Each structure stands twice: as structure tokens, then as C-alpha cells.
Amino acid sequence: METIASLTSRNAQPGLVQWIGFRPLRREPMVASDLAVITQYGLEGDHYTSGGKRSITLIQYEHLAVIASFLGKMSVAPSDLRRNIVVSNINLLGLRNRQFQIGNAILEGTGLCAPCSRMEEIFGKGGYTAVRGHGGITAKIIEPGNVEIGDKILPL
């Protein structure tokens, strides 16, 4: 019989980077990019570059449609959710407490990225609750590197 640890160590396929964004200044609009340079402190150009367990934020592309549905909208933009990297084809929760390669950088999933009150400002009443459980994960940087749209995400 297999253990939970062996079952949770597997992924059906690698993930793919779908979108990359920077927050140049606190509370300012995000800037989309095809390439991110991940330094030892965070994404170059992002206002949050103090390092630590919340250096990078990631959200699942598939959850954008779920959040939109909860809001009664046709879609939501990745920039509205204020996460750095949007990925598809892999369950991000499976990367919590694990190292993974994204582009040529190595990150480690550190926890859930809970929504903040900004979701109410951006989406209106109920925005916070719509994102709950679908806000993605936070990650710390193990090895700096570059990430581009279309790069694979591989659990290590």
C-alpha cells in the first residue's frame, strides 16, 4: 500500500508559466512581462524584495475562472489578483513545503497566499471571499534565475 507521502510526491505533468507580473510600487497597477529575473530577494522590479518566505507569489491559472464565477463575471485578469506568476497544468498546493524549478530558478513553496482586503477594493463586495482558497502559494528563493512565459515548473 502506498503512503500519503508517496502519493503527494507525484504530479501528472509539469506546470507551465502563463503570466508574469511586477508590482513596481505598493498599491500601484501591476506591470506584465514576458521575463522575470529572480534575485536572492525577489523579482527584479517588484516593490516587495525583502527576501524570506513570501519572496514570490504564484497562483493557478485554472483558479482564475473559479474566482470569476464566484464574482459573477466572465473573467478576471491575473493582474487583479496581484500575484507574481500565474501557472497552469500543476496543482500549486502540491508544491507547498517542496522545492521546485521554475525556469532556471529554484524556489520552495512556503505557504498559502491568502487574499487581502484589496480584493474587496478591486472586485467589490464579496471579492475577498471569492479569492479565499484560490489565492495560490508563497515561495522563498533557493537559487536565483530567470523565468519566462512558457517555462516549465518541475517539482524536485
The torsion angles phi and psi of 105, rounded to 5 degrees, stand at -95, 155
CATH number of 4-155: 2.40.33.20
DSSP state of 92: G
Task: Locate 81 and state its grid cell.
Answer: 489578483
SS3 77: coil
The rounded distance, in Å, linking the Cα atoms of 142 and 145 is 10
The rounded distance, in Å, linking the Cα atoms of 126 and 89 is 27
pTM (2 d.p.):
0.91
Task: Locate 100 and state its grid cell.
Answer: 521546485
**Rounded to an integer, what is the distance from CA 136 to the centroid of its chain?**
5
Q: State in Å, rounded, how far the first CA of the chain is from the last one.
A: 23
Query: Mind listing the pLDDT tens digit of every residue in the chain (156 residues)?
Result: 888 777 777 766 789 999 999 988 888 899 999 999 999 999 999 887 777 888 999 999 999 999 999 999 999 999 999 999 999 999 999 999 999 999 999 999 999 998 988 899 999 999 999 999 999 999 999 999 999 999 999 999
- The residue extents of the domains of the chain are 4-155
SS3 5: helix
Quickly list H helices, 4-152: 4-8, 62-71, 78-81, 118-123, 127-131
**Rounded to an integer, what is the distance from CA 154 to the centroid of its chain?**
14
CA distances from 109 to 58, 73, 106, 112, 155 (A): 9, 30, 10, 9, 10
pLDDT at 10: 73
